[in-house]
Amino acid sequence: MRKRVPKIEGHALFYLHLKSGRIKDARIVGLNGERFTEGLVRGRHFEDAPVITSRICGICPTIHNLTSIRAIEEAMEVKVSPQTKTLRRLMLYGQLIQSHALHLYLLVLPDYLGVDNAFLLQKEHPEHWQKAVNLKKVGDKIIEVFAGRATHPISSVVGGFTNYPQKEKLYELLKMVSLAKEDALLMLRLFNSLVFLRLNRPSNYLALSSPASYEIYDAKIKSSQGQVFSAHNHKQFVKEIIRPYTRTKFGLFEGKEFMVGAIARINISFKKLEPEVLKELDDLKISTPLTSPFQNIIAQAVEVYNFCLVTEKEIMKLIDAGIKTEFPDFKTKPGTGVGACEAPRGTLYHQYSIDNNGKIIDCDIVTPTVQNLPSLEHDIKLLYPQIKDLPEEEQMRKIEMLVRAYDPCITCATQ
Amino acid sequence: MTLGIFSLTCCEGCQFELLNFYDDFAHVLNFYDILNFSLAQEENLPGPFDVALVEGTPETREELKLLKGIRKQSKILVTLGTCAHLGGIQAQRNFKESEVKGKRKVLPVSKVVDIDYAITGCPINREEAYQTLVDIYHGREPYQINYPVCFECRHNQVKCLLKEGKPCLGSITRGGCNAICTTNGFVCLGCRGPVEQTNLYKIKEMLKKYLTDKEINQRLEIYGEFVDNIIKEGDRH
């Protein structure tokens, strides 16, 4: 049984190998062509890397841009100001809000409301449609204010920013975020009320973790089984392997499958969510650990609400403090550096080696979807016994729903 | 009219850019019925289409077949974005000797099938895309801007980056992006392709002050076949 999965980022199909009613094997096959991004940046000046790598993905360009910048700054030992860090974090919050909102409303929700696509959602459930639009817009707007454009950011470069927003823009943004947080709360309640397939499957969850806050920009990586490692050691723990049937790679943690993404972040950093969010989760009786991949959907909704609140606070602080205009100032230095940030879909690693003249000698990128694929294939096998008595079309629909819960991005995984 | 929106190998950013402000896109839906858009809907038909939008470059055998099929099924084929127009970032490998050799050349859509119009940019300017779709609906020839980014940059009252010593390609790149990069303090890298009457020799002279020959070529290659698309004197009709 095989079927192409529509409504995901990129092109993929799943393939089930069945033998007398039992499932023998499940595969996810990426259909995108390879672009060899890692090879493309080799031999180029480091300034080109954030521009080129952001083009890996059209839904999460900001995170590729920032992770690549971080890795290059590590390699050349560039120090950036606290203000730059704050603005970059805000960009990431915007990235998470817009990516999750798009995935949840446009790709996931139609499945559960029984409509074919999001445009019908507009006709049949205008109340949900409007919230989707508001949240997506606010996510895009945050990135646009700080980096110039939402799809493929512009002014965010190695060392800092080339342009800064005017104060009026911040007021405008603050107003939008304050309105959006209500929508985000309603969205969390909506997604919590959906009926998901049941699949209890505790896994090893990996995410950045900091003792102080719900960190997604700069911290060590922690696993739910207790291992802690820093970004530059990631190759010892997370290994990419190649399987013959697909162009995407597969990531394993110490040889085993694991999960990254919203569900992993919530499981690792639950207590560091905003107090308002924790109170709401208590009311909704959501507690960790979340163990079903379908709960990734709820975890994303939680994050949208959380980051709307955080963004609002941070922008108020920025307005009080005022934005200083400071331009990148650093010297080119040879070295090797790794950046790890939390993308909407999980931990993203970029690694660069740079020579004396600022040319990139080596580049390695490990995307979150690559790390999730082994676990996804395994979960299809686990889900199958539950759905095997349904008509074939229904079975395929259920498997598609599982694939979408993982929010895979095949363009990133193939890059 | 009927519309198909297709994605070959690329980042799919142009599709997301189309959807970016759902309300505006929903407005375009007053003119078109979408028959195929696998990013957003479950049921997708193979055609025929009045208009097909295609982004990305065909990298696999299936994609080449798909692209040729789209051409057969569509009255009007419009390319979306820089990948389909110039080859995009992946087309850098057409110019690399050692790094990713042995791989097939990246072909922009227009080198595989005939195209009717091109909406350019990485990512596209969504207003321009909506305008093109509405123009086609009304049977008008879509308007294509033919002035350089410099024109818009001046209009936005931005200081000239080239004069500040930053190697900017705004003077040879087709406008229509409202000079979004230079307005945000970043040099133009030519994603929208060359404007007509580009004087490549002159711009290379100017860039030599800041970059080596190799770096100049790398800069012109960042989005693919920029130089190949320059219309030479006498080629124009």
Mean pLDDT over B124-132 rounds to 91
Predicted pLDDT of residue B25: 82
CB contact under 8 A, B100 and A36: yes
Residues A143-159: b if buried by 16+ CB within 10 A, e if exposed: bbbbbbbbbbbbbbbbb
Q: Which amino acid is at A77?
A: E
| Count of CB atoms situated within 10 Å of the CB of A324 | 8
**What is the percent of chain B where pLDDT is above 70?**
94
Pairing verdict, β A156-157 and A160-161: antiparallel
So what's the pLDDT on residue B46? 84
Chain A neighbors of B218, CB-CB under 8 A: 44-45, 48
Assess B127–A contact: CB distance below 8 Å, yes or no: no
The answer, yes or no, to whether residue B233 has pLDDT greater than 70, is no
Measured distance CA(A176)–CA(A194) in Å, rounded: 27
pLDDT, mean of each 10-residue run, chain A (415 residues): 82 86 86 85 91 91 94 94 94 93 88 82 83 89 92 92 92 94 92 89 91 90 91 89 86 90 92 92 89 92 94 94 90 94 93 93 92 91 88 88 90 85
Answer whether B94 touches A (CB < 8 Å): no
Nearest-CB residue to A154 (from B34, B42, B180): B180
Interface predicted TM-score (ipTM) over 0.90:
yes
So what's the pLDDT on residue B237?
45
Say whether A55 and B11 touch across the interface (CB within 8 A): yes
Tens digit of each residue's pLDDT (9 = 90 or more) over B153-187: 999 999 999 988 899 999 999 999 999 999 999 99
Give the closest-approach CA distance of B199 to chain A in angstroms: 24
Cα(B91)–Cα(B122) distance, integer angstroms: 14
Residues of B in contact with A147 (CB under 8 A): 184
Q: Where in chain B is the domain with CATH 3.40.50.700?
A: 2-137
Which of A31, A38, A55 is the best mutation test for B, with the most CBs of B within 10 A?
A55
Cross-chain Cβ contact A33/B59 below 8 Å: yes
Length of chain B: 237
Are B127 and B134 spatial neighbours (Cβ–Cβ below 8 Å)? no
Sign of CA dihedral B220, B222, B228, B231: negative
Q: Specify the CATH class of B2-137 in words.
A: alpha beta
Q: Check whether B200 has a pLDDT greater than 80.
A: yes
Residue B101: pLDDT band (50, 70, 90) is: low
What are the φ and ψ backbone dihedral angles of A253, each rounded to 5 degrees? -100, 115
Cα atoms found within 13 Å of the Cα of residue A304, Cβ hemisphere only: 35
Which pLDDT score is estimated for A34? Answer: 82
Residues of chain A in contact with residue B181, where contact means CB-CB under 8 angstroms, are: 148, 154
Hey, what domains does chain A have and what are their CATH numbers?
Answer: 37-414 (1.10.645.10)
Model confidence band, residue B100 (pLDDT cutoffs 50, 70, 90): low
Measured CA to CA, the distance from residue A219 to residue A399 in angstroms comes to: 35
